[in-house]
């Protein structure tokens, strides 16, 4: 398939999803196709690890439900702190929630509840065993969230603080008396949602802060902030021994991805699944480990005794054509995670360059 031989910088131009376009550019910029699976046990360790390994990765994968001490505060909690680190180092946050339920339930799990995943995770994933309508349900939830974020931004800027010329369409703000609630009872004098852009985000919102408490710039140099779009990966194949996902199931994922190109970025899979001429989905692949430094590579590394199976970055990226390797214990359990992350980054990037040539 053409995407196997295309540089990420080229794929950045043709991917449908705005976040995929961003991610491909980020990969090119950081020379990294590494995702850290940050499966540590406490929020404190998670944040420390993200800060130390951030320079080597383009995606940080979380399982918020295995972290103790996760702070759910939507203004100051763990999600917000992760988002600030993501901005500082230039990586996207992927909550590996593997949603699987009826559409209505996943909408609520995705956007509400304790964790409010949609607020801090650029990317999440879903198992579509329950049927592909849930992908549409999640896409709808993400679109509504984005519209609401923009609405909140607009109202918080417009209420009582008229600033000339801030709206793209040149519309004047009208804060001069009158009813300042819209028909749904929300506060704010202007109700048009679509004309707002990200530049109106109030600087004092912690989720959108551009500097940390010490005044350091948090935007990774060389690239702007990611778009406010949310993305989904379909869990099309798994790394574990005896996985029950059939070829038909994987094919259903491919079809669902094509039907929701503006929300589905790609797959969690063990091999490349782009087959139609204009497919440009991104593949992220767990079950990745390197033999210890100095030992010879033969593509395969011993599993964990609990069903996990491992391949090397070279086998996954060069041979099987996936794009991003997801590494957990291979990095976390090493004596020096930042150094080990760099070793994985170099190997995985080399495997990508080998595929191109």
Closest contact distance (angstroms) between CB of 239 and ligand S5P is 4
Q: Which is nearer to ligand S5P, 196 or 327 (CB)?
A: 327
Query: 321 among the known binding-site residues?
Result: no
Dist CA 353 CA 269 (whole Å): 20
Query: 187 among the known binding-site residues?
Result: no
Token pair 């989720």 is found at: 207
Closest contact distance (angstroms) between CB of 315 and ligand S5P is 15
* Residue 71 falls in the annotated catalytic set: no
Please report the beta strands in the chain, taking only residues with DSSP state E, as ranges in sequence order: 34-37, 59-62, 92-99, 123-126, 231-235, 264-268, 282-285, 300-301, 310-311, 324-327
Closest contact distance (angstroms) between CB of 164 and ligand S5P is 48
Closest CB to ligand S5P belongs to which residue? 328
Q: Which is nearer to ligand S5P, 257 or 268 (CB)?
A: 268
Query: 303 among the known binding-site residues?
Result: no
* Residue 184 falls in the annotated catalytic set: no
Q: Going by C-beta distance under 8 Å and a sequence separation of 6 or more, which residues neighbour residue 168? A: 195, 196, 197
Q: Which is nearer to ligand S5P, 96 or 279 (CB)?
A: 96
Closest contact distance (angstroms) between CB of 109 and ligand S5P is 17
Q: Which is nearer to ligand S5P, 166 or 311 (CB)?
A: 311
Query: 87 among the known binding-site residues?
Result: no
Q: Which DSSP string do the residues of 7-69 spell out, in sequence order?
A: -HHHHHHH-SSHHHHHHHHHHHHHT--EEEE---SBHHHHHHHHHHHGGG-SEEEE-GGG-BT
Bridge partner residues of 187 (DSSP):
181
For binding to ligand S5P (CB under 6 A), which residues are involved? 37, 39, 63, 96, 238-240, 268, 286-287, 308, 326-330
List 30, 81, 96, 279, catalytic entry? 96
Among candidate residues 154, 118, 88, 108, the one with its CA nearest the CA of residue 229: 118
* Residue 101 falls in the annotated catalytic set: yes
Tell me how many degrees the CA angle 220-266-58 measures, rounded to the nearest 5: 20
List 101, 129, 182, 304, catalytic entry? 101
Closest contact distance (angstroms) between CB of 316 and ligand S5P is 12
Q: Which is nearer to ligand S5P, 153 or 245 (CB)?
A: 245
Dist CA 212 CA 216 (whole Å): 5
Dist CA 321 CA 298 (whole Å): 17
Query: 13 among the known binding-site residues?
Result: no
Question: In a 3-state reduction of DSSP, which class is residue 148?
Answer: helix
Query: 61 among the known binding-site residues?
Result: yes
Strands 300-301 and 310-311: antiparallel
List 51, 98, 182, 350, catalytic entry? 98
Output DSSP code: residue 220.
Answer: P
- Which residues are known catalytic residues? 96, 98, 101
Binding residues for substrate: 39, 61, 239, 308, 328-329
């Amino acid at each position: 398939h053409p995407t196997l031989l295309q540089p990420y910088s080229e794929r950045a131009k043709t991917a449908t999803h705005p976040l995929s376009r961003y991610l491909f550019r980020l990969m090119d910029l950081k020379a990294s196709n590494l995702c850290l699976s940050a499966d540590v046990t406490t929020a404190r360790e998670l944040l420390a690890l993200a800060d130390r390994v951030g320079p080597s990765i383009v995606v940080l994968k979380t399982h918020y439900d295995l972290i103790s001490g996760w702070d759910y505060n939507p203004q100051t909690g763990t999600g917000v702190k992760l988002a600030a680190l993501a901005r500082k180092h230039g990586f996207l946050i992927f909550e590996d929630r593997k949603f699987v339920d009826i559409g209505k339930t996943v909408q609520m799990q995705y956007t509400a509840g304790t964790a409010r995943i949609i607020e801090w995770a650029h990317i999440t994933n879903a198992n579509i065993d329950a049927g592909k309508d849930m992908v549409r349900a999640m896409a709808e939830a993400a679109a509504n969230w984005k519209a609401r974020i923009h609405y909140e931004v607009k109202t918080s800027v417009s209420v009582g603080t008229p600033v000339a010329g801030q709206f793209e369409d040149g519309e004047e703000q009208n804060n001069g008396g009158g009813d300042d609630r819209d028909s749904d009872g929300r506060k704010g004098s202007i109700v048009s949602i679509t004309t707002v852009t990200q530049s109106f985000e109030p600087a004092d919102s912690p989720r959108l802060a551009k500097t940390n408490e010490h005044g350091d710039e948090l935007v990774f140099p060389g690239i702007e902030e990611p778009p406010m779009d949310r993305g989904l990966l379909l869990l099309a194949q798994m790394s574990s021994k005896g996985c029950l996902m059939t070829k038909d199931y994987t094919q259903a994922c491919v079809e669902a991805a094509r039907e929701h190109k503006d929300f589905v970025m790609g797959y969690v899979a063990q091999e490349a699944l782009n087959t139609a001429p204009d497919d440009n989905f991104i593949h992220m692949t767990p079950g990745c480990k390197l033999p210890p430094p100095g030992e010879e590579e033969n593509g395969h590394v011993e599993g964990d005794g609990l069903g996990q199976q491992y391949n090397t970055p070279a086998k996954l990226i060069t041979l099987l054509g996936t794009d991003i390797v997801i590494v957990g214990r291979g990095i976390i359990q090493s004596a020096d995670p930042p150094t080990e992350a760099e070793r994985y980054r170099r190997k995985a990037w080399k495997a990508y360059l080998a595929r191109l040539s």
